[in-house]
Structure 1
Amino acid sequence: MKNILVLCTGNSCRSQMAHGYLKAMQNGKAKIYSAGIETHGLNPGAVAIMKEDGIDISKHTSNNVDEYDGISWDYIITVCDHARENCPYIPSKMAKRIHHNFFDPSKVQGTEEEKHAAFLKARNEIRNFCKGFIEKEFN
């Protein structure tokens, strides 16, 4: 079984959404983990937008990357530039490193409709990325 780490700055939003999709899509072929270089807690907007698509991430926790020391990674996916540039060294000779900087919906200010639209945009981009990743790497 493969080990996949999804890494973001605070492990509250984008990495959590990717974790949810990868877990739902991988059909028992991988263990999915998500972490941040910091921990910011689970973003309620991310939980709500994922629920709209039938994925429950409400029981996820915001974890620091250091908590997973010793795991042999097959894939390390960074989902924001900040995490890619500031991530502590993760020793893994085997890991395939993949980077995609997703738009951060948690930074959007405005009406509830504008915030919802931002989370929807990010969620759909992340879902499409995860689908493509699974198709490429596991089929």
Structure 2
Amino acid sequence: MTRPFFGWLSDVTGRENTMAIAFGMEALAMIAWLYMRHDPLLFVLLSGVVFFGWGEIFSLFPSTLTDTFGTQYATTNYGFLYMSQGVGSVIGGPVAAFVYMIYKSLVPVFVTMISLDVLAAVMALFVLKRYRKSYLHSMRD
């Protein structure tokens, strides 16, 4: 459901705006997740919202990459992008475990995730959008 939904939304609102919406939605869901962690039903329901937001990377990242740099090396470029997700997943677990070991709580792990989601939303609007506009404009000249 995630790929078609965010693909459609990005066609309507633009890639960067949709990224900001998705990352912002994830941050809000994780804030609620954190506060509702003692309620099993709400935790499970909010998990669905969080994972729904996480799925947007599989529709928006490849399309943004191809829209920006073209189709000639799209599979190679996406291979590097997808590889970075794998590296992040390998590094993320030990870093989360280390943070938990220091603080004896998962709350700082969630706060870090929420902060990074907010940062990603802001960067989608104010860094990526500006960069892509400038890059695409320079490619037309």
TM interval, shorter chain, is 0.3 to 0.5
Greater RCO, CA 8 A, separation 6+: 2
Q: TM-score w.r.t. structure 2 length? A: 0.33
Larger Rg belongs to = 2
Greater helix fraction, Structure 1 or Structure 2: 2
TM-score (norm 1): 0.33
